[in-house]
């Protein structure tokens, strides 16, 4: 899956499951490893998006559920996935 925003893009990958952040030149900026174990793990991220408040919502087609992650107040904003870009 992929999210493209104004500054970069994020994709998911398996083995190990992770979110990868790239700039538009293809340079890897950040890797976020995702736990496999419950209660907050994923087997396979099938879809993900970010709401206007900055919460990450992801669906797992193997565990058969979706999850919502709220950023910690102290989180580095440069490492957060931004809402998808759309033409206004």
* Integer Cα distance of 69 and 46 in angstroms: 16
At 88 the pLDDT is 74
Q: Around 60, how many Cα atoms within 13 Å sit in the side-chain half-sphere? A: 22
Please report the pLDDT score of residue 26 as a whole number. Answer: 97
The two tokens of residue 54 are: 């900055």
Do residues 85 and 7 make contact, with C-beta atoms less than 8 angstroms apart? no
pLDDT of residue 68: 95
pLDDT for the residue numbered 39: 87
**Using one digit for the tens of pLDDT, what is the confidence trace for 1-56?**
899 998 899 999 998 999 999 999 999 999 999 999 988 889 999 899 999 999 99
Q: What is the pLDDT of residues 66-80, one digit of tens each?
A: 999 999 999 999 899
How far apart, in whole angstroms, are the C-alpha atoms of residue 2 and residue 73?
A: 25
Picking from 71, 61, 74, the residue whose alpha carbon sits closest to that of residue 17 is 61
């Amino acid at each position: 899956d992929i999210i493209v925003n104004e500054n970069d893009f994020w994709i998911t990958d398996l083995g190990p499951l992770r979110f990868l952040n790239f700039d538009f030149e293809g340079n890897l900026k950040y890797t976020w490893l995702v736990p496999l174990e419950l209660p907050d793990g994923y087997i396979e991220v099938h879809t993900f998006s970010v709401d206007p408040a900055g919460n990450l919502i992801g669906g797992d087609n193997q565990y058969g559920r979706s999850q919502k992650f709220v950023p910690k107040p102290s989180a580095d904003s440069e490492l957060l996935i931004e809402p998808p870009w759309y033409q206004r």
